[in-house]
Amino acid sequence: NAGVMQNPRHLVRRRGQEARLRCSPMKGHSHVYWYRQLPEEGLKFMVYLQKENIIDESGMPKERFSAEFPKEGPSILRIQQVVRGDSAAYFCASSPRKGNYEQYFGPGTRLTVT
């Protein structure tokens, strides 16, 4: 039973380019959460999705950032026109259902904007 998969593990983008981060939840999990972690800091909630639905995007910047979790395929976090401040580790987590259940984390994608 594979864990949460994220790719790429490392992504380098120049300012103004687009970044696409992918997350495949654990088998049987239909809830996905995206977090951002800056160096030496905790994780900041960005967005919570179920299949084909955004449940809560209150932690996501209103501009340049978007997320989706289609019926088929991985969840995608998309950052348009990246800026240096977007450099961070982006983790996704999945859980089997909503409520107070453990979230299983992927290995993260480390985005560097040059």
Partner 1 sequence: GENVEQHPSTLSVQEGDSAVIKCTYSDSASNYFPWYKQELGKRPQLIIDIRSNVGEKKDQRIAVTLNKTAKHFSLHITETQPEDSAVYFCAEKRSNYQLIWGAGTKLIIKP
Side chain identity, residue 96:
P
**Site pattern 46..65 for partner 1 (x: CB under 8 A):** --x------xx-xx------
Q: Which is nearer to partner 1, 68 or 104 (CB)?
A: 104
Rule CB under 8 A: choose which of 18, 41, 61, 70 binds partner 1.
41
* Cα atoms in the Cβ-side hemisphere of radius 13 Å centred on 43: 13
Give the integer Cα–Cα distance in Å for 25 and 29: 6
Rule CB under 8 A: choose which of 15, 27, 44, 78 binds partner 1.
44
Return the range that interacts with partner 1 (CB under 8 A); candidates 14-22, 62-70, 76-84, 98-106: 98-106
The nearest distance, CB 90 to partner 1, in angstroms, is 11
Torsion, CA 101, CA 102, CA 103, CA 105, rounded to 10 = -170
Is 1 among the residues that bind partner 1 (CB under 8 A)?
no
Answer whether 90's CB lies under 8 Å from 108's CB. Answer: yes
Taking alpha carbons only, the member of 94, 65, 89 closest to residue 77 is 65
Is residue 86 helix, strand or coil? Answer: helix
Is 25 among the residues that bind partner 1 (CB under 8 A)?
no
Which residues contact partner 1 (rule: CB under 8 A)? 33, 35, 40-45, 48, 55-56, 58-59, 91, 98-100, 102-108
